[in-house]
Amino acid sequence: MTHTFDPAVRDFLTGRIWLRLHTPFPTETIDAHISSKHIKTIPGITSTKARHFCNRCENDNPSRFTTFNCAKCQGPCTYCRHCLKMGRVSSCTELISWNGEPPTYATDHSLAWQGTLTPRQQQASDELTNSTAKGTPHLIYAVCGSGKTEILFQPIHKLLLEGKRVCLAAPRVDVILELEPRLRAAFPQTAIEALYGGAESTTAAPQLILATTHQLYRFRHAFDAIFVDEADAFPYTADETLQRAVRKAAKPSAPIHFVTATPSDKLLADIKRSGQVSTINRRYHGHPLPVPRYSTLWNYTKHIQKGILPKKLITWTTQCLTQQKPFLIFFHTIALMEAAEPLFQQLDTRIHAVHAAHPDRKEHVQALRDHKIPGLLTTTILERGITIPNVQVAVVGAEQLIFNKGALIQIGGRVGRSVHYPTGDFVLFHHGITYAMDAAKNDIIQLNKGEIRI
C-alpha cells in the first residue's frame, strides 16, 4: 500500500458511499486510489435467491427492483428504483467509499450566536449535551416557537470543538433552507455544507452537514452525532428506508437525537426505552400558543369548484389585507387550492398558491417574507419550519384526514412566533369537527397550562 493520495478525494469520499462513475474526479484518479486500496469498492446490488438489497439506500422491497437484460454486463442485471433519482445503482454498478485514514477535522470553531437561552432552553441544551457525551439518543420535545434550533447550538459547538463530524437532518427541504443561513451565521468558521435535491455539491471537507434525510442515502458511518429536526414530518415516519438511512449515516456508536414539537407515540415510546427526553412547553417569549378557533364553512368544495369564494373566506382575507398582516391559507389538495387561487386573486392579484412541486415555491415564500406579497395559499408543505412575523393562519377544510393532530399543531405553530407579535389568528374553517381537531385544541390548551404528555 502506497501512502500517496489526493487529499481532495479523501475529503470528499470520507463517510460517503458514491457511484464510482459519478465522482467530481477523473476516472484515472479514482482508479489509482482503488489500486492503492485508499478507496474500496462495493457492489451496487447484493442479490441472493430470496431478495435483492441496494447497498446505497438499503432498500429491499422487491417491488422497487427491476431486473432486465443488460447490454453492458451482457446478462440479467437488477437495479434499485428506490434511489434512482440519485443515479442508477445496478448489479453491474460499483459503489465506492474511502478506505484510508479519515481527515482530521478542525477543532477551532466559534459560536457567533449572541442570544441568550431561557432557563428551560438552557436546561434542555445541557441535557442534550450530556446525552451526546454518553452516546444515548435524546428527544427534544418542545412546542412550536420555543427556540429549538438555538437549543442545538451548544451541543453542536461542543462536538465541533472535539473535531467531530455532525449532521443536522430534516425530512423536508424547506426546513433545511430555513436552517442553513442560521447555522452559517452561528458557526462562521466551520466548513458547512447544505445538501438537498438540486443543491450544488462541493469537494471541500464539510464538518457540519445540513441535509434532507434523503441525502443520507449517500452517507455511511460518517457522523459522530445526527440531529433529526422535525422528526415526525412526512416522509420520514412513513418511509422506513429513510430511518435506516439515518442510522447508516451515523457511526455505529453515534447517538441519533430527535427534535420535534409533535412527537409520534412510537417515537416517544422508542426514546423512553433507550434514551432521554427534554420537554419545553413555553415559547421562548413566554406567551401561550395560539388556541385554534372553529368556524363552519359548509360545502366549501362545491362553492369553490363553482367559482364562488365562500363569504367567510372573503371576510377573513380582506381583513388581513386591510390590516396589512401576512397570511397563510392551508388547503388539503392541490386541485382545490388551484381552483381557489384565481378567486383569491380577485381580492389581491399578488396572492399565489404554492405546493411541493411548484416551480416558484422558493421565490414565493421569500416574497412573503420580504412583504412583497400579502399572503400565500399552500398545501401542508409550509406546516413547519417557516417563520414569518405576524402571520395569520387559516385552514380550509380542517376536517380532512391529512390535517391530523400533529399537522394542526404544527400549522398553529406558525402563528405568534415573533416576540413583537406574540399573538395572531389561527382559524380552522371546517365542514364538521373531527377528533383530530379537538385533540389538537386540547393538547394546545394543556401545553399552555404547563402540562406535557410524555
Partner 1 sequence: MNECLLCQQAIASTPSWQALLGLEKQTNICPDCSKKFQRADNKEESDILDRITSLYSYNEAMREYLHQFKFLQDIRLAEVFADELRTSLIGDAIIVPIPMHPEKKIQRTFAHVDELLTSARIPYMHLLEKLDTVAMGEKSKAQRLAMKPLFAVKKGTTILPSTYILVDDIYTTGTTLCHAATVLKEAGATRVEAITLIRAER
Site residues (vs partner 1, CB under 8 A): 63, 66, 68-73, 77, 79, 81, 84-85, 87-88, 90, 92
In the bound state with partner 1, the residue whose beta carbon lies nearer, of 79 and 141, is 79
- Cα separation values, 102 from 90, 92, 98, 209, 389, Å: 28, 28, 8, 16, 44
Query: At residue 156, what are phi and psi to the nearest 5 degrees?
Result: -65, -45
4 or 63: whose CB is closer to partner 1?
63
Q: Taking the complex as a whole, how short is the minimal distance between the CB of residue 243 and partner 1, in angstroms?
A: 17
| Least CB distance to partner 1 at residue 88 (A) | 5
| Residue closer to partner 1 (CB basis): 83 or 143 | 83
Instruction: Tell me the closest approach of the beta carbon of residue 135 to partner 1, in angstroms.
Output: 35
Q: How far is the CB of 38 from partner 1 (least distance, A)?
A: 28
Q: Distance (Å, rounded) from C-alpha 57 to C-alpha 78?
A: 14
Q: DSSP letter at 418?
A: S
Residue closer to partner 1 by CB (options 87, 188) is 87
**417 to each of 135, 389, 424, how far by Cα in Å?**
32, 7, 9
Q: Which is nearer to partner 1, 44 or 424 (CB)?
A: 44
Compare residues 90 and 149 and give the one whose CB is closer to partner 1. Answer: 90
DSSP string, 389-414: TT-EEEEETTTSTTS-HHHHHHHHTT
Q: How far is the CB of 47 from partner 1 (least distance, A)?
A: 17
Number of helical (H) and strand (E) elements in the chain, helices listed first: 13, 20
At 95, give phi and psi (nearest 5°): -105, 150
DSSP class of residue 304 equals H
Q: Shortest approach of partner 1 to residue 308 CB, angstroms?
A: 25
Cis check: omega of the bond before 235, within 30 degrees of 0: yes
Residue 128's closest CA among 149, 104, 144?
Answer: 149
